[in-house]
Amino acid sequence: MHKKGPVTKLIEEIARKEEETKDLKDRYLRALAEMDNYRKRTERELDSYRQYAQVEFFNKIIPVLDSFEHALDGANLDNDHINYVKGVEIIYRQLKDTLHDMGLEEFSSIGESFAPSRHEAVATIVNDEKPENTIVEEISKGYIVKERVIKPAKVMVSKQSKGGIENGKNNRD
């Protein structure tokens, strides 16, 4: 058996380390390429999902659009417009039902306490009959999709005059 000297041992060790480094670099580059391919595939799938969602949305809304077209065509034939108004009411219900089926929920806020996450205050009204920050009038409803507010309700909020009630207690007592 041939004895190896320290230089030979170092040369063999360097060769092993170089081979190990080459292997690690190759594995790193493969992992990097796999991550890039995964990112691209995910982007394509997301884009495909968006397109599918758009098509699904349009397929559900197009019948409402068709109904509006029929109502407008019928308005020319109806001189007193009674049937036109009835037709628009039907289309309104059809649109609300379609949007509800797609996950849109409307909410009303009259009588609730003002919550900035659900409401947009457009004015305050002096009202001594209601506690401070109670919604007394609604300008427009709010809308939620899957518990997320997508449009806050526009509301008018009560405020107290100097002698009014606050939190249900009369300040004049």
The H helix count followed by the E strand count for the chain is 2, 8
- Reported for 9-13, long-range contacts at CB under 8 A and 24+ positions apart, including other chains, are none
Give dist(CA 3, CA 148) in Å, integer. Answer: 76
Phi-psi region of 27 (alpha: psi -120 to 50; beta: other; left: phi over 0): alpha
Give dist(CA 119, CA 44) in Å, integer. Answer: 37
How would you write the pLDDT of the chain (173 residues) with one tens digit per residue? Answer: 678 889 999 999 999 999 999 999 999 999 999 999 999 999 999 999 988 888 888 888 888 888 888 777 776 666 777 777 888 888 889 999 999 988 999 998 899 999 999 999 999 999 888 889 999 999 999 999 998 999 999 999 999 887 554 444 444 34
Residue 71: predicted pLDDT? 78
Residue 17: predicted pLDDT? 96
Alpha carbon 79 to chain centroid, angstroms: 43
Residue 78: predicted pLDDT? 64
| Vertex 53: Cα angle to 90 and 100 (nearest 5) | 35
